Chains A and B, each alone.
Chain A
Amino acid sequence: MAIKTIPPSRGPARTSGRDRAERKLAFRMTAPSLVIMALVAAVPIGYAIWLSLNQYSVRTAGLSRFVGLENYINALASQEWWAAFGQTFLFAGLSVSLELVLGTAMALLLNLAFKGRAVLRTVVLLPYAIITVVSAITWQTMFQPNMGLVTNVLSALGLPGGDVVWLGEHGYAMAVIVMADVWKTTPFAALIILAGLQVISAETYEAAELDGASKWQTFVNITLPLLRPAIVLAAIFRTMDALRVFDLPFVLTRGANGTESMSMLAYTQLRENRLVGEGSALSILTFLTVMVVSVIYVRFAGGNIREVAKEEQ
């Protein structure tokens, strides 16, 4: 009953003066954050666009000339950009699909009531807190020739891969990077999917049980469709993150052997080769790529996100 009387500001009897005061307060409370974000996000990106339209002398500081879209044209005509583009999407596709499948399985386990569930939850959460650089180093120790656990076990079992220099070969290097990412971030996907799982009511399952549905039928026909919004949300968060991948290839391969991501390529041009204009153009291209993917996601898969946005109004 109390619900009908609150919030006071939304009651129909409120005067517009009260509304105006509230809007003013809301503006004042949000403004500082928005100003900071404009300064630390919008201004740099605007400046990056300007930098990307110029060419800067490597030898003489301050010497530059306006070249228009030349840096973009060169980048889009270069094999390096498209290689980095393809490798980034390959990495994102592989790691996000593994994370969603494993994350769903983990979430189903964590949703079961059994002794040791708390222990499982803690254990599963540990890799999430690890910094990415350490995750990279951990998997480097696992796959190091002779020293690594995986390489040694493979050798002992006579399986292929035991004598491979994993980080030194095309394909294998990507596999290690995907592993390091899956290990660290699957818990995140699992927790979001678990939250979706926990809002499915017990009655839904009881009804299915009464109808004589098997466990597998229940999972495919009831759990999965109801879980879709949570899985889509996890997919969006993870994809956006995976497309920005930088730490893992930086530590594990420095971008060698088919692992150079878009962010790494831009970084290399900027910091190692001191090509400010080219590097800026590449970082803007990376930015645009990620934005386009996020728009596509929200358009086609994220119906639930738009609903949430509508509710806010």
Chain B
Amino acid sequence: MSTLTAERPTPELATAGKAPKRRLRGESKLHPLVWVFVVAVMAFSLIPFYWLVNTSLKKGASLSQGELFPSQPTLENYLVVFQNPEFLLALRNSVIIAVVTTTVALVFASFAAYALARLKMRRKAMILTLILSVTTFPAIAIAAPMFSIWREIGLYDTLLGLIIPKLTFALPLAIYTLTSFFKEIPRELEESAYMDGATPFVAFRKVILPLAVPGLATTAILVFISVWNEFLLAVTLTTSPEARPVPVAIAFFSGTSEFDQPLGTISAASVIITIPLVILVLVCQKRIVSGITAGAVKG
């Protein structure tokens, strides 16, 4: 590690020396076959979205015939969704659960991650392995006993009863991601704090935390997406609209009537909850990419 850091030229030098070369390379034309491939990847990513939106804009015969372009596009499905009190409740529940879980996980994880990234500690490797292994636990192994415990102590079908088990997966994810971010912060900065007589904890609070704001934001986004997405705990530990988050509400949308296939309405609800996530990707894509890859590259 340290030799690598020592050999690396300063960032300014690196860009000054290499940027023009890179640009030249970038202008070299792509093989036509590569373009075919680029288009294919884009189509694979986007066409399902198009079809979901398309389905959400159709009704009746237009829906059942599967028109490529809706001949009479209608927003009626969206109206139905917004007039559904259960959907609005689900949105509220999801926001509360995701915000609280993410905040709690981030607070505790930032302490743990600092210790794991920077401080001397006994059995550090073992603790990290343990934390990482929790992220691979199948949720059913948590959901099954929680279902019994919560029904006995009255937390079944409550928001709190969902937030607590969701921490099982949010916390290790946050610790793992934050640890790799803390490691990237140059040690020189803490060094100067130590020179000024700061204790490790003061160095953490005054030097590391402010510098780690981008890393914290990235971690928050990743944890938020994963909590928002989580389904198994949510479906096992809730039963009423008062506690059901969005994924469960949508999954049970079709359950209203056996004969009606309300695919139009379900699609509309799906589009509605997808829009904020699409915006999140458009605005924060760099953060998301750096978060996913933070732990992936050695060092």
Which residues of B approach A to under 8 Å, CB–CB?
1-2, 5-6, 22, 25-26, 30, 34, 37-38, 41-42, 44-49, 51-52, 54-55, 63-66, 68, 108-109, 111-112, 114-116, 118-122, 124-125, 127-129, 131, 133-149, 164-165, 167-168, 171-172, 175, 187-188, 190-191, 194, 199-201, 225, 228-229, 231-232, 235-236, 246-247, 250-251, 263, 266-267, 270, 273-274, 277-278, 280-282, 285, 288-289, 292-293, 296-298
Q: CA A48 – CA B297 in complex, angstroms?
A: 36
Interface residues of A toward B: which range?
A: 35 or more
Give the contacting residue for B41; candidates A7, A48, A109, A196; CB below 8 A. A109
A51 touches B144 (CB 8 A): yes
CB distance from B261 to the nearest CB of A (A): 8
A267 touches B127 (CB 8 A): no
Given known contacts A9-B200, A10-B120, is B108 in contact with A33 (CB within 8 Å)? yes
Q: CA A4 – CA B5 in complex, angstroms?
A: 11
Given known contacts A25-B201, A125-B285, A126-B45, is B232 in contact with A263 (CB within 8 Å)? yes
Give the contacting residue for B48; candidates A106, A128, A142; CB below 8 A. A142
Q: Mark A19-43, 1 if CB is under 8 A from B, else 0.
A: 1011101110110111011001100
CB distance from A102 to the nearest CB of B (A): 8
A113 touches B66 (CB 8 A): no
List residues of chain B with CB within 8 A of the CB of A112.
30, 34
A294 touches B136 (CB 8 A): yes
A30 touches B172 (CB 8 A): no
Give the contacting residue for A27; candidates B25, B121, B194, B293; CB below 8 A. B121
Q: List 23 A-B contacts (CB under 8 A).
A: A6-B187, A8-B194, A22-B119, A29-B111, A32-B108, A34-B112, A48-B141, A106-B41, A120-B41, A123-B45, A127-B45, A133-B270, A138-B51, A149-B51, A149-B68, A152-B68, A196-B297, A230-B296, A263-B140, A267-B236, A279-B144, A291-B133, A312-B128
Q: CA A12 – CA B107 in complex, angstroms?
A: 33
Give the total number of A-B pairs whose CB atoms are below 8 A apart. 318
Interface of B is mostly: helix
List residues of chain A with CB within 8 A of the CB of B250.
133-134, 137
A263 touches B64 (CB 8 A): no
Sorted nearest first, the 3 A-B pairs with minimum C-beta distance are A113-B26, A195-B293, A26-B119
B127 touches A287 (CB 8 A): no
Give the contacting residue for A41; candidates B46, B68, B137, B288; CB below 8 A. B137
**Chain A residue with Cβ nearest B114:** A29
CB distance from B5 to the nearest CB of A (A): 6
Q: CA A3 – CA B2 in complex, angstroms?
A: 7
Task: Answer yes or no: A216 CB below 8 A from chain B CBs.
Answer: no
List residues of chain B with CB within 8 A of the CB of A63.
none
List residues of chain B with CB within 8 A of the CB of A194.
293
Q: CA A229 – CA B137 in complex, angstroms?
A: 23
A44 touches B42 (CB 8 A): no
- Apart from A23-B120, A247-B232, 11 more pairs, CB < 8 Å: A25-B199, A33-B111, A47-B145, A109-B37, A130-B277, A142-B48, A148-B66, A192-B293, A262-B140, A310-B125, A312-B116
B232 touches A271 (CB 8 A): no
Q: CA A53 – CA B296 in complex, angstroms?
A: 40
Which residues of A approach B to under 8 Å, CB–CB?
1-10, 19, 21-23, 25-27, 29-30, 32-34, 36-37, 40-41, 44-45, 47-48, 51, 105-106, 109, 112-116, 120-134, 137-142, 144, 146-149, 151-152, 183, 188, 191-192, 194-196, 199, 229-230, 233-234, 240, 243-244, 246-247, 250-251, 262-263, 266-267, 270-271, 276, 279-280, 283-284, 286-287, 290-291, 294, 304, 307-313
Give the contacting residue for B38; candidates A33, A116, A152; CB below 8 A. A116
B274 touches A130 (CB 8 A): yes
Q: CA A47 – CA B273 in complex, angstroms?
A: 36
CB distance from A273 to the nearest CB of B (A): 13
A308 touches B298 (CB 8 A): yes
B273 touches A131 (CB 8 A): yes
Give the contacting residue for B140; candidates A121, A151, A244; CB below 8 A. A244
List residues of chain B with CB within 8 A of the CB of A146.
64-66
List residues of chain A with CB within 8 A of the CB of B292.
188, 191-192
B164 touches A40 (CB 8 A): yes
Given known contacts A47-B149, A133-B251, A144-B263, is B120 in contact with A283 (CB within 8 Å)? no
B26 touches A114 (CB 8 A): yes
CB distance from B33 to the nearest CB of A (A): 12
List residues of chain A with CB within 8 A of the CB of B45.
123-124, 126-127, 183
**Chain B residue with Cβ nearest A194:** B293
